[in-house]
Amino acid sequence: MSEWQPRILAILCNWCSYAGADLAGVSRMQYPPSIRVVRVPCSGRVDPLFILKSLQSGFDGVLVSGCHPGDCHYISGNYVARRKFAVLKPLLEFIGVEPGRVQFSWISAGEGDRFAKVVTRITEDVRELGPATRLVKKL
């Protein structure tokens, strides 16, 4: 049987990372079939609850990706997103969600190869960690 494939939710900004994923696709770049993409208008739209909810609903990992600093279509959405993640990330780690499971990245519309690499990287990380079982208490 083939290797276990984690399920990772990729929340991508419409203006950059989503187009980056598109470019990776049309350029026929290879990356693991582990991600399920949700397109958002801006990474600033991503509420901490989205991430908690995806972990709770059984995703093994979450990738959130937005525009590089200075490139936001809405001027400052990604800066605000960065602040939100800066609150959520340590909190998740503190309550025992491994750092590799939830990751953030900047990917522009032209960086198809970077998109493929980021997805490969996070898939490897999550595969190493195994399926998410942390939201269940082992009795």
Q: Is 122 in the site for another protein (CB under 8 A)?
A: yes
Q: Is 95 in the site for another protein (CB under 8 A)?
A: yes
Contact 66, 78 (CB under 8 A): yes
Site string for another protein, 21-40 (x = CB under 8 A): --------------------
Q: Is 121 in the site for another protein (CB under 8 A)?
A: yes
Contact 14, 67 (CB under 8 A): no
**Of 107, 104, 45, 49, residue with least CA distance to 76:** 45
Q: Which whole-number Å values give the CA distances from 138 to 6, 39, 42, 93, 133, in the listed order?
A: 21, 34, 37, 19, 9
Q: Is 99 in the site for another protein (CB under 8 A)?
A: yes
Residues of the shown chain interacting with another protein in the complex, contacts defined by CB under 8 A: 48-49, 52-53, 56-58, 69-70, 76, 79-80, 82-92, 94-97, 99-100, 103-108, 111, 113-114, 117-118, 121-122, 125, 131, 133-137, 139
